[in-house]
A and B are shown apart, each in its own frame.
Chain A
Amino acid sequence: QKEVEQNSGPLSVPEGAIASLNCTYSDRGSQSFFWYRQYSGKSPELIMSIYSNGDKEDGRFTAQLNKASQYVSLLIRDSQPSDSATYLCAVTFSGSARQLTFGSGTQLTVLP
């Protein structure tokens, strides 16, 4: 069974710190990886997509992909209280270009 695993948290970090969110996936042939942010009562909002091994940076966010180890991570630098949300990892497994499989999400709290 194709799975995406995340620590449910909650993860608490102080304001200004780096928040590190991790995700592992079961299918070695997976090709595309996404991080979504979901505020309580709201819909998921795309933060980052990553397709190649290595790092991808966008503002305060950095996605890191290691296909050999089958994990993808999201780093949030200079964390702000407004970053407090649930972060969802999503993976497109091989052979299913349009079917995203989501992890259960990691709840992040940034303490002022």
Chain B
Amino acid sequence: ETGVTQTPRHLVMGMTNKKSLKCEQHLGHNAMYWYKQSAKKPLELMFVYNFKEQTENNSVPSRFSPECPNSSHLFLHLHTLQPEDSALYLCASSQSGGTSGWDTQYFGPGTRLTVL
């Protein structure tokens, strides 16, 4: 595997279900991100982890719960979601302190989530 991988690629769940999205990066990066992309809206940053520590939480509802056990893996645990949570969920990674001094983020293929 190369780059950033995400599983599953598609997920359909009911509002009472609990599911988890998984992201793995094979780039040796130290920062990982969750984004939400809804139709006709800009990408929305949800969470940022740097060296496994959460550094950003952009007012995301508690029904989304991130977990970062190590610098290569990132999870997004989902429970009691709403239909408006249906979207493409994207994971990204970056290496802080690169030669440019600023992070360049690389995205995984995304998980298309549908909440019924």
**Residues of chain A having any CB pair with chain B under 8 Å:** 4, 31-32, 34, 36, 42-46, 49, 51, 88, 90, 92, 97-105
- Stretch in contact with the other chain, from B14-22, B65-73, B74-82, B102-110: B102-110
Which residues of chain A come closer than 8 Å to B25, judged between CB atoms? none
Give the A-B pair count, Cβ closer than 8 A: 59
Chain A CB count within 10 A is highest, among B42, B103, B104, for: B42
The answer to whether A31 touches B102 (Cβ under 8 A) is yes
Q: Is the CB of A32 within 8 A of B42?
A: no
Hey, which chain A residues are within 8 Å of B41, CB to CB? Answer: 104
Question: What CA separation (Å) do A100 and B107 show in the bound complex?
Answer: 12
Q: Number of contacting residues on B, CB 8 A? A: 25
Q: How far is the CB of A32 from chain B (nearest CB, A)?
A: 4
How far, in Å, is B66 (CB) from chain A's closest CB? 15
| Contact residues, B78-116 vs A (CB, 8 A) | 88, 90, 94, 96, 100, 102-110
Beta-carbon contact of B45 and A100 below 8 Å = yes
Establish whether residues B42 and A49, one from each chain, have CB atoms under 8 Å apart when the complex forms: no
In the complex, what residues of B have CB within 8 A of residue A88's CB?
42-43
Give Cα A90–Cα B108 distance, bound, in whole angstroms: 17
Which A residues touch B90, using CB under 8 A?
43-44
Task: Say whether B43 contacts A102, CB under 8 Å.
Answer: yes
A42-B109, A43-B108 given as contacts; is B103 within 8 A of A98 (CB)? yes
Q: How far is the CA of A88 from the CA of B41 in the complex (A)?
A: 11
Complexed CA–CA distance, A44 and B110 (Å): 10
Most buried by B among A51, A98, A99, A105: A98
Given the complex, which residues of A lie within 8 Å of B96, measured CB to CB? Answer: 97-98
B100 partner residues in chain A, CB cutoff 8 A: 32, 49, 51
Across-interface contacts of B104 in A (CB, < 8 A): 34, 46, 49
Q: Using Cβ atoms and an 8 Å threshold, which residues of chain A touch B88?
A: 43
22 contacts between A and B (CB under 8 A): A31-B102, A32-B102, A32-B103, A43-B88, A43-B90, A43-B108, A46-B106, A51-B102, A88-B43, A98-B48, A98-B50, A98-B55, A98-B94, A98-B96, A98-B103, A99-B56, A100-B43, A101-B45, A102-B42, A102-B43, A104-B40, A104-B42
